[in-house]
Copies of this chain bind each other. A is one copy, B any other.
Amino acid sequence: MRPLKETVLFHDAVRMVLDGAVPIDRVERVALSAGDGRVAAHDVIAEVDVPPFDRAAMDGYAVVAEDTFGAGTHSPKTLRCVDRVFTGEMPVRPIGRGECIEIATGAPLPYGADAVVMVEETERDAGGAEFSVRVLTPVYPRQNVGRRAADLKVGERVIRQGQVLSPSQVGALAATGVASVDVYARPVVAILSTGNEIVEPGQPLAPGQIYDINRFTLQAVVERHGGVAVPLPTAADTIEDLSAAVDAAIGVGDVLVFSGGSSVGDRDLILDLLERRGEVAFHGIAVKPGKPTAFGRIGTRPVLGMPGYPASCLSNAYLLLVPFLRKMARLPAWQPATIDLPLARRVVSTTGRHQFYTVRVGDGFAEPAFKASGDITSMAQADGYIEIPAQTDVVEAGTTVTVKLF
């Protein structure tokens, strides 16, 4: 057996992992309806004016503003209504002095008109095809008019390269008439659980076996943070099986994430494989849980070897994989929701190791919830976690801690 002798500091591990994350350059075109949350691969420049014409911003009457000057409740200006324009139609008639045209919000402004009087500020005859409108309030030129190109002008940048699209930005693209958008591909993460004892949920357990957990937690984290998870079949703990699994993983993934096999037993072979087929950046981090974690590369593919213990694997997924993956995916750093609370009970930490410590939130306190690295309930029965720096030995009850919520 080969003890883990030298660990890297947590912050060095994060830095090395981030240094190894190369933002994806692959571009794919997606339908606009699939654009939300994706990262724009190019600037998008408007090829049409939005709106493409001057239009009424209110339901009312298109007028020559000057005809309404001096109007008041007791001295209305009377205009002859000569036409009606609905949305989606072009006005047939131009407007002359003393005339108005009934107009719906969004309909193109008739030629000759320069303002719209809101319907609420008018009275009308119960007339037929042509009728009179009394304007009770004056309008100034351009009032209640949405000007052509007021929203977006031909040649204006709608989206900039690298922008993470939000619903409104998808809407802005739609406004310019484009039906699809070029975005950076999501990093594909090949996920491999190793271990002779690992069985797929849904199968019967033989003696000595346990169900695979890490494949599911890793997949969920990857998909929450901009990646595409490709779980591979569980690999047995032989160098041949693992090497074949690596070949399969390299075929599908931009990144390989293993769980298990990064500790120090004779059958913990990920490290051997990294050394034999690629290079090791570090093996062992001064974190708790999650110490037996390896990082390196095989060919151009970054490889993250996670601990087999499910709480360790998942805590390192939050601490290392998430920043790594978001950099590859060109997403901004994760900002988990946080809550500051007094700690309900004293927590004794391991000196020299950065600690990821789960807590439950309730009754105005952060209640320690961590059980053991091997227990997924250390995470699943918690609401979030605190981080305790390596140099801190004890966090006393009552200390205000910042809980990062899952």
Contact = CB atoms under 8 A, between A and B. Distances in A.
Nearest to A373: B57
Interface stretch (A12-20, A65-73, A146-154): A146-154
Given A3-B119, A168-B380, A180-B202, 13 more contacts: A3-B120, A50-B211, A57-B373, A88-B196, A105-B309, A108-B208, A151-B377, A168-B382, A171-B217, A172-B380, A174-B213, A176-B201, A177-B202
Nearest to A124: B1
Contacts of A355: none
Given A88-B197, A208-B90, A406 B150 contact: no
B197 A106 contact: yes
A268 to B, nearest CB: 8
B174 A107 contact: no
Contacts of A224: 36-37, 167
Contacts of A252: none
Nearest to A146: B374
Interface stretch (A241-249, A259-267, A276-284, A297-305): A259-267
A178 to B, nearest CB: 6
Interface string A31-67: 0110111000000000010111101010100000000
Copies of this chain, tallied across the complex: 2
A169 interface: yes
B107 A169 contact: no
A324 to B, nearest CB: 16
B372 A264 contact: no
Interface string A211-222: 111111101110
11 contacts: A33-B219, A36-B219, A51-B374, A55-B374, A88-B197, A105-B263, A107-B197, A119-B264, A151-B374, A167-B317, A180-B202
A150 B374 CA distance: 9
What are the 8 A-B residue pairs with the smallest beta carbon separation, nearest first?
A179-B202, A88-B196, A168-B379, A167-B220, A88-B197, A36-B220, A172-B380, A171-B217
Contact of A372 (B150, B172, B217, B375): B150
A89 interface: yes
A195 interface: yes
A130 interface: no
Interface of A is mostly: loop
A27 interface: no
A55 B374 CA distance: 10
Interface in A292-345: 308-310, 314, 317, 335, 337
A178 B195 contact: no
A86 interface: yes
A174 B1 contact: no
A59 B265 contact: yes
Contacts of A273: none
A272 interface: no
